[in-house]
Amino acid sequence: MFSNITDRIRLLFRKDKEPYLCFYRMLGFYPRNIEIYQQALLHKSSSVKSGKGKLLNNERLEFLGDAILDAVVADIVYKRFEGKREGFLTNTRSKIVQRETLNRVAVEIGLDKLIKYTTRQSSHNSYMCGNAFEALIGAIYLDRGYRVCKWFMEERIIKQYLNLDKISRKEVNFKSKLIEWSQKNKFEIAFNLVGQSVDNEQNPIFETMITVENIAGGSGKGYSKKESQQEAAHETLDKIKNDPQFIDAIFAAKSEREKSEEDPMAVATRPASEVPAISVTQEEKNPERYEDTERIIAEAEDAAFQEEAQQKEDK
């Protein structure tokens, strides 16, 4: 796709050859702006100050890389599985970019050995390698552009470490994981069929809405009730992981329900609109609930693969 000859010639005149060679072995090409790749390996626990006094770490690159990775993998999956429906493509992409996959790939390419972090952080941050991988994608994009990002994912990652056909046949049972999470944390959840329609070819479409402690969670559509429930459960898990206001609301509603069950006359259930938004003070007062929830949702996303018979091609 591209030649490394010019970059190799430039390398001959550099005194600090080893960092360039290290990245070359991992990436398959030489960095042009090596500083941005080094920043991608800098965890926030080991932030350094720039010449302008700003703290530098890999968080901004991780944000960028996350978006680029979604686009690149969607591009690859779309072309690889011609004729597949949107739901199939979305699920396959999700399995590739999920934290378990990114963590494993990061270790496979040796990225874990290059990340700079404090020992204290490594003991509980199970996402560090996956986050650094996303930051690396962000660095590649800024240094070389979209085409090289896509080449890197196709040639250096997917061809060597990921079997797309096998991944596409695996199903993440989001519904069972959501139920497991609710039972472990004593939440009341409900799967509600809220709509049924047909598409242009008169195929039935089902719509499911999930409530957690009577608060609206995720919704999903599918060509079967099971498919719509899976989509709704997936969206709900995403909200639990990424929406602090939602998780604070369901914890508050759960607390109110438990109080009313103990003394029905003492507490009246408040509508969801009156539940206070999350604040830093609340989170600091109850860190264990957020840490436990984060861990459980990580299990739901990262360890939810269940081997099944090959998925029906175009159900």
CA dihedral 88, 100, 279, 47 (to 10 degrees): -130
Phi–psi pair at 95, nearest 5 degrees: -65, -30
Maximum Cα–Cα distance for the chain, whole Å?
A: 81
CB 38 within 8 A of CB 116: no
292 is catalytic: no
Q: Identify the active-site residue in 18, 35, 62, 66.
A: 66
Active-site residue, 238 included: no
* Structural tokens at position 2: 């591209």
Helix axes 99-108, 287-302, angle to 10 degrees: 70
Query: How many CA atoms lie within 13 Å of 16's alpha carbon, on the beta-carbon side?
Result: 6
Report which residue type is found at 210: I
Q: Note whether 62 and 69 are within 8 A (CB).
A: no
Rounded Cα distance between 119 and 141, Å, is 29
Which amino acid is residue 211, in one-letter code?
T
310: CB partners within 8 A, 6+ apart? 169
- Long-range contact list for 177-180, CB < 8 A, 24+ apart? 177/233, 177/237, 177/299, 177/300, 177/304, 178/210, 178/233, 178/236, 178/237, 178/300, 180/296, 180/300
Q: How many other C-beta atoms can be found within 10 angstroms of the C-beta atom of residue 115?
A: 21
Contact 12, 162 (CB under 8 A): no
Local structure of residue 154 (DSSP, 8 states) = I
- DSSP code at position 116: B
DSSP 158: I
Catalytic residue among 35, 86, 134, 263: 134
Active site residues: 66, 134
